[in-house]
Amino acid sequence: MLLKDFIPAPEVCEFVQLYRIVHLHFEKGMVIPPKAYPPRPEHCLAFYPYDTETVRFTGSGKLIRNLPIVLYGQFTEVTQRMIGHNFLVFQIIFYPGALYRLTGLTAAELNNQYIDAEAVFSSEIRLVNEQLYDAKSYPEMLQVANQFVRGLIRHQKKPRLLTDNAWHLLLSGHAKFSLDQLAREACLSTKQLERRFKERTGVNPKLYERIIRFDRAFRLKNSKPAFDWLRIAIECGYHDYQHLVRDYKNFTGLSPTAFHEIENNAPERKFGLSEGYYKE
């Protein structure tokens, strides 16, 4: 069983942040708990070569099922993911702005959406899913993905702009940047930056920074369950514990403790795995 992030080939690293493989196999008849999937700073193309998953939107209750290849952009709400007994998902996690450059789609069109990828990439993408199904190993799957992304890069629709430096600075987490600082880095006014940033990431810089910080807290708690919440808050850049609580309630509807009680029952936990920080 596997839950691991892999570094993409050097020539695609400008567009792809990481590949993530989740491979879980449950005995027939075993009850599989749902996975509460929180907001994270990700634009993702997900392949399901074996069993697909069913997604329920927490807010609307909308259900989507039986999609073998899925594209989704920036989420700002929790979705419930229900998986099958023979489950493998291969995720291509794009950098913010990369899908806009590769497809020409504005990121806002993908916000809180879970759509059939064939509508964007044509039916030829089925071949990629079939190649993943036939792959004999995880390294072979990585080769399939790298080759697919190389093809996208050869036909990219939009150029890289200085605006793309803004999300990179926020995602790096090395320092805090004001909107004015980010605008100066991009040689734009603050209004121009916000417009282009939303076009490429789906949300404004302030909200994106909050999602990044929340995701760091979520993953740090999974990686270091013995850390108390105050330590998690401080290490992830929150002013105090209450500041962390507000973000958890805004993004999940629950307190940090209550949400992680649900997270502790996620399907991957049956195999001693969790969504922390994984690298190849």
pLDDT tens sequence across 147-181: 999 999 999 998 888 777 777 778 776 557 788 88
Any domain includes 11: yes
Q: What is the mean pLDDT of residues 2-29?
A: 95
Give yes or no: residues 250 and 130 share one domain: no
Please report which helix (H) or strand (E) contains residue 220, including its range: helix 205-223
- Residue 137 in tokens: 């190993």
Any domain includes 14: yes
Per cent of the chain over pLDDT 70 is 98
Q: What are the residues whose beta carbons fall under 8 Å from the beta carbon of 94, sequence distance 6 or more? A: 15, 16, 17, 42, 43, 44, 45, 102
Other CB atoms within 10 Å distance of the CB of residue 39: 23
238 has pLDDT over 90: yes
Give the closest residue to 144 by CA, choosing from 163, 168, 158, 128.
128
Would you give the DSSP letter of residue 192?
Answer: H
Any domain includes 163: no
The separation between CA 66 and the C-alpha centre of its own chain, rounded to angstroms, equals 20
Give yes or no: residues 122 and 221 share one domain: no
Q: What is the CATH number of the domain that holds 116?
A: 2.60.120
pTM attached to this predicted model: 0.93
Give the closest residue to 19 by CA, choosing from 107, 174, 128, 115.
128
Any domain includes 196: no
Q: What is the mean pLDDT of residues 58-73?
A: 95
Give the closest residue to 5 by CA, choosing from 158, 159, 163, 138.
138
Give yes or no: residues 19 and 153 share one domain: yes
**Could you tell me which residue, 159 or 252, shows the higher pLDDT?**
252
Domain limits for position 104: 2-158
